[in-house]
Structures are given as structure tokens and as C-alpha cells.
Chain A
Amino acid sequence: MATLSLNSLTRRFGATVAVSAMSLDVADGEFVCLLGPSGCGKSTALRCIAGFEEPDGGDILIDGASTVAIPPNRRATGMVFQSHALWSHMTVFGNIAFGLKLRKLADAAIRRKVGEVLDLLSLSGLESRYPRQLSGGQQQRVALARSLVLEPKILLLDEPFSSLDAHLRVRLREELRAIQRRLNQTTVFVTHDQEEALTLADRIAIMNAGTLEQIDTPGAVYERPETLFVAGFIGAMNVLPARLIGHELQAGPFRLPLSGERRRALADLQAIDLAARPEEIELLSRDNAQSEGRVEQVIDLGPMRHVVVACDDGMRLKVQAPRQVPVAPGDEVGLGLQRALVYRDGAQPVEIVRRHPSVLPFRRAAGAELRPQ
């Protein structure tokens, strides 16, 4: 049982505010990703939780008790660093056993615990190697083992896989997720890689310029980004400046009739933006479409393709198309908007749905866990 709470955590470096009044609750056994561009304060927040940075304001609670006054060596947190930070003068065993030895455990107990965690991370047999004799993936596993062996209440990971190649990254990601589930380990994971965050997290906390933009499940963050920043940061998104003209919202090639209620909500606003994902725009034949454009580029992504369509006003839209659709650069195409979100300053986005794609209800197994994701 371990929970983590940040209560308006603030950390300044001179005049710059690295983390600004950040509040976050992480439930027991939950996996939360702090996601954001570099310099957004996510690593600083993590280092505050670990105790390497002292907050200028706010509180950090582990299991409801404030830990701000506790130095990092007595905090119930375990940190895995981006650079793995293994001690090059110690073997794998020495690295993992170091914390246990500091806790004055008996030799037999140390050997047993190290053995268990080596098994858990498939590192058995490498005990007497030195870090430089290991591959990048093994090094990062040892770093994870070094933290896990101490059974921390909160596991903290600071972009642990970003220096590994893509295949290894995906594999370690899956391993980490499996271990985290098995141990029911409360975890905070910092990354700038949205794919990593989407695949790993129970909930994603998206940060920008020191503040939290949105905290939600990966599905919700993708489906309904609460701010324009999140909309642009997660996944591919077409963001079009929009104008309200009469009964219609004009955005790029699209003209969307609005209901009276929607219109009133948007009426007195200057800055309106419309955001639509590539899969929310449809490629149509030119005859039966209001909006049109010319195909500029076709990007093959494997399972599907992204088609870049240039509209009359020079605006470019990214549209998702199945592989089967015969489309090539130069084609004149029509565009249909199925769903979009309209963003206004400081308010919740308004959803505009033209047509719901038909989704069959799947039969759900009786008693199946209704867990997010």
C-alpha cells in the first residue's frame, strides 16, 4: 500500500519557475507518466519526489505523510536514472546489494534478495560482471533491479529507456509494465515520448512550462485533450484557426453549421481553434464533398497511410487513409470532417460530431475488470 500526493509543488531556479503549483495524486499500484517536452519541469518534479531537489513550496506526501524534510537516503523512493548511473567499480551483484548492505542485512538475506530480483529481471548469471561488460538493455535492467531490490514505496523512473534502440525500448517497456503489475508497484515515470506514455501509463500527466495541462487515462488524453497544447502534443493533430461567420464555423476548408447553443458559447470569442485528428477527417470523392484539396504527399506508416492534402488557402491537412484507398500525389480529393474539438481561451473544448462511426458493442466477459485502458 503506497500512495503519493503532490500538493501545489513548486520549484524555482532563480527567476525561472521549473515546477509551478503542481498537484497530483497517484493511487496505490498506479503507473503515472509525467509527459512533456524537454524543459517542461517533469524531471524536476521527479527529482523533488526523490529528494534531490528541495521544493520552494507545496508538499510531497507518501502514504499521507509529508516527506519534504526527509533526505533522499531515508526516503521510501527508488530512482532509476536515464544514464543508468551504475557504479562502474562494482559488479552487478555489488551494485544491487549496495543498498541492502547499507541496511545491514545478513549476507544470506542479501544473497537471497539479490537472487530474486535478478530472476525477476532475467539477469541471473551476470552477477559477477561489471557494468561495462553488459549491453545497454542489461545495464538498465540492473539499474531497475538496484531500485526494486529495496522494495521502494514509490518507484521513480527518469526517461530510463531513451538511450536504447527502438526494439529494446519496446521490450523493456513491456517487461517493466509486467513487473510493475505483478508487484503492484506505485510508479512515476518521466518521459518525453508520447508513445511510451500511452503504452505504459494508467494515467498520463501532461506538463508544459512547469504546469500540469491534463491528467487522464491514455485513451481520454488522446480522445479529448483539454488544452490546445495537449491536442498538439499527443498524437498527430490538425489545428486550424477558426472563425464564426453567421451560423457557421469556418476553419480551413471546412464550414460547420452550429446549433444555437454552441454558437452562443463561441460568439464573443476572438481566438478559436479547431482540432481534428487525421483519422477524424475522411477522404471522399470530389463530387460529394463540400471541402476539397490536392494530395501533396502520401506517408506510409505501415498499417495505414497519412495523406497530406493542400487546400486552396495553402493550409495543409493530414488525413488518415486505409492502405486500400488508391491515392497518389496530385490527386484532387474531397474532405469530410467527422469529428473535431473547438478550443477557446481558458475554457473546456467543445466537441463537434458530424457522424459517429458505427461501433458494434462487444460482448464483455462476466465480471471483467473495468479498468481504464
Chain B
Amino acid sequence: MSIAPLAGPLPRASRDALGGAVLLVALILFIAAPLVGVLLWAFAEQWRPPAALPTQWGFKYWYMLLARADVQQSFPLSLTLASIVTALSAVICLPAAYALARLDFPGRRLILLSFITAHAFPRFPLYVSIAVIFLSLGLIGTAPAVVAVQLVFSMLYMIWIPTAAFRGVDRRLEEAARDVGASHLTVLVRITLPQVAPAIGAALLLTFMNAFYEVEGALLVGIPDIRTLPIVMLSLITGQMIVQYGAVLSAMLWVPSLILLIFARRMFDSRTFAAGVTT
């Protein structure tokens, strides 16, 4: 290994490599630093600003939070609501996605585009107008209201991703199955669905996460009776200004994300996904 003189320009290649490394470190810091900060705060019992690290570590705030009735109720509630939203979305949207992918009818593109309109405009006015309708129907403060709002705003994932996936399935795979004796239903269950499974998994994942973390809609149509975990977190942060409460709740909210991400990683690594991408 030779030692380059300190003065004098670096060779171009190593300059590029250096630039890349700097950019990478900056990106990692940008993404990871807040996460690390939150984690530090979650386990900090005492942290006075001049100190670089918490001066006292422990689970004190975890115990305090988990002992609170609102947290105990909201965690399973959030999981349940997100699961219901995901399941309903799948039941409604997957057959629609299949139809949108396979049938060519006038207005097909318009229907596909319509799902993005809910995301193309400022959301808060939409939530307010929905809340007004729900108020007149007596639905405010009920679980169905929260499910309905979250469902509307997560259908995009469950329509677009599977539609693209169904369109991407090679029709000859299905013909080959027909050729060896499979009925239309068998082809769908044994050939088409396994082929699009990774995409459907990704859509389920996105829908679940979206519903689990969604706060404005749930806040507007859910309170006072339906308080999801993000709503509890919001009220704790805005009301009591104990940094640790927010940090611990954030860390708790990550749990389903991490589980799902690990699941997703395995799914994306799997042969089905690889094959789906290469063929």
C-alpha cells in the first residue's frame, strides 16, 4: 500500500469514492440519528442537555406508560383496527384489482386514477367533511367510523399494487395450467395468486402500517371514545411535555413495523419474489 502525499489532488476515482462515502454517512445520520435519539430518550431516566448521553438509564418510563389505562387500551385497539382495515381492504380491493387488470372496459383508467384523488388533495378538509357527514349519521366516536376513514385512504395501495401485479402475470403460465387440465378457479388459486403473492403481501403491509400510524382521520372521527395508540401519543406529547413518554410510545409503535419489516424481508428474499421479478 502506498501512501499518497497529503497535499496534491486525489485521483479521480478515489475522490468519487470519498464523495460517495461522505454522502452515505450523511444519509445514515439523517435517517438513523432521529431514531437513535428516540431510542436513547426511551431508556433515559435522566438526561440533562449538556450531557452527551443520558445520565441515568432504565425502564422507569416504560413501566409508567404501560401502567396507564389509556395505553393499555389503545395498543390492542390500534392493532385490531389496523387488522380490520387491512382485511376489509383486501376483501374489497383484491377482486377489483383482478378485474381492473384483466378486463378491458371503458373507464378502466379513470377508475384507477380515482383512487389517487383521495391522496391528491389536502387531507384535512376531506377529514372534516367526512366528520360532518358522520356526525349527522351519529357515527362519530365509533370504531366503524375510524375503520371507514382509514379504509378510504388506504385503498390506493390495495388497488394499484395488485392490479399491476395481476397485469404482470404471464398469461401463458395460466394457459399452460389450463392445458394440463386446470379449471379457471384452479388456475387462479394455484398459479395466478402464488405469482402475485409478494405484491399482495407488500400491499397488505403498506395498508396495515398506514392504518396503524394514521392519526388525523382517527382523531377527527374517533374521539372521544376511540383512542388509537398514535392519538394517545399525540395527547401525551402535547399535554404533558414529558419527552420520555413520546419516545417510549414511538418505540412501542415501531414494534409492529419491525415485525412486519422482518416478515417483508423474508418475503422479498424468497424464491417467489425473485422469480416474480426475473420472469
A: residues with CB less than 8 A from B are: 50-52, 71-74, 77-79, 81, 83, 85-89, 98-99, 102-103, 130-132, 143, 146-147, 150
Contacts and interface: CB of A to CB of B under 8 A. Distances in A.
Nearest to A74: B181
Contact of A89 (B170, B179, B180, B194): B194
B266 interface: no
Contacts of A130: 271, 275
A131 B275 CA distance: 9
Nearest to A89: B194
A147 B182 CA distance: 13
Contacts of B180: 73, 78, 98-99, 102, 146-147, 150
B89 to A, nearest CB: 24
Interface in B28-68: none
B276 interface: yes
B179 A50 contact: yes
Most chain A beta-carbon contacts within 10 A, residue among B180, B186, B190, B279: B180
B170 A83 contact: yes
A87 B170 CA distance: 10
Interface in B239-266: none
B272 interface: yes
B179 A98 contact: no
Interface of B: 170, 172-173, 175-183, 186, 190-191, 194-195, 197, 271-272, 274-276, 278-279
B240 to A, nearest CB: 52
Nearest to A90: B194
Contacts of B170: 83, 85
Given A73-B182, A73-B183, A79 B274 contact: no
Contacts of B176: 79, 81, 85-87, 143, 146
B35 to A, nearest CB: 36
What 6 A-B pairs have minimum CB-CB distances, sorted nearest first?
Answer: A99-B180, A88-B275, A85-B172, A85-B176, A89-B194, A102-B181
B69 to A, nearest CB: 47
Nearest to A102: B181
B179 to A, nearest CB: 5
11 contacts: A78-B179, A81-B172, A83-B170, A87-B173, A87-B177, A89-B271, A98-B182, A99-B181, A102-B182, A132-B274, A132-B275
B278 to A, nearest CB: 6
A81 B178 CA distance: 13
